[in-house]
Structure 1
Amino acid sequence: MRLLLIEDDAALRDSLARQLEADGFRVDRAVDGEDGLFQAREYPSDVIVVDLGLPKLSGLSLVQALRKEGRTTPILVLTARGSWQDKVQGLEAGADDYLVKPFDYPELAARLRALLRRSAQAGSNVLTLGPLAIDMAAQAARLDGQLLELTAFEWRLLDYLVRHRSRVVTKQELSDYLYPHDEDRESNVLEVLIGRLRRKLDPAGTLLPIETLRGRGYRFTLA
């Protein structure tokens, strides 16, 4: 799971990142609201943790901006203010949960797991797209009733294309989702993955489920 942590307190940010990484999260870090908003837009995450009291752009404004753009990534806000008005304000801005400082890490971890479970359940219906049936919760796909053997990367690629099938997904966007943005990447890795996934989804070459738009990216075509 990829998590974006937006916190200006360096000690807290580093401590949380270490604990989250020990729990299996891949953590991206942002030090202020502007940096956090940029990373949230550029590097897709499974969940976002954001402090409300950020410099340059408040956490509240950041959450509002993401929701206004139609982004549905689960968001947990951290606040040093414990009044009910602040909590309501954060939730009305579009946050999914809140946690008041100071807090113990196990509580944060439990709340994140709950958010991720709810997010998975929200997408747990089996999608039927032509002869392809995709079970988001089980992370499984069937073609004409036959279970497809997909690698973890192939599944993540299919999942992302299907969830964003209403638009063109750029190569950069897919790479940012599949790999940490600070890693070196082979330029042809994504093309190889796309090719393998196409052959598994369309062995006869008749469905053409993934369209390549030259210079723009890819689009999932089955509906």
Structure 2
Amino acid sequence: MMSKTLLILAMLVCGSLAAGQAEAADSKDFKDVNESHWASGLIGQAVKKGYVSGYSDGTFDSSKAVTRAEFIKMVVEALKLPNSQGGSPWYQGYVAAAFEFGLLEETDSTDYIKPIRRLEIIRIIARTLAVEQAYAAYFDAFADLNKENLPFSDHAHFQNKDLPSIALAYGTGIVAGYPDGTMGLNKASSRAETVVMLEEWLAVRVVDPVSKPRLLELNDRAERNVSISMLDGQ
């Protein structure tokens, strides 16, 4: 019988391949997202893939904060994971699917109607990558990183347990910092920011990690940390 990890991997790979076949939508699909909007193209792609949509008034409301429930639904839909529909609250089927396939853990917040933090998004994204053979080794290696190895002015606030997730998401280009040099892990994520991260994540999942120089650089830093630690222990 297929192990749970392999089952998760198989389902996620199938989901990403299906999601990757969509074409970009016209930027005129939403009256509040014109061609000059910084995320116009990726919003269009995400809508075509079907894991996010606009509102009945013809807007996308790109600056609106995404709740945990909304983000979980986006991820489950993007991966084409089987889930029950209907019920109360509306998101229960998506949350159940997220737990079943390892996207959520018992220690995660259960306040699903509140805005999701960037750190929570990073954790979930990293989990989906870490079960794939191509990225698992990087995730494991990043446990040897120091906070100072990440180029963010607020790195002192990072928890050591989150360094592998942050490094994997940053190294693959799924997330980036803000112009002030911070990662802003505790900030809410707008609909536009969330869609951009998810589109980058879907793209990353089907490419070779060696094509990501930043990922390789972080891996080298982790290996150097191990070497230095071994020398200090002699």
TM-score (norm 1): 0.28
TM-score in terms of structure 2 length: 0.27
Per residue, is there more helix in 1 or in 2? 2
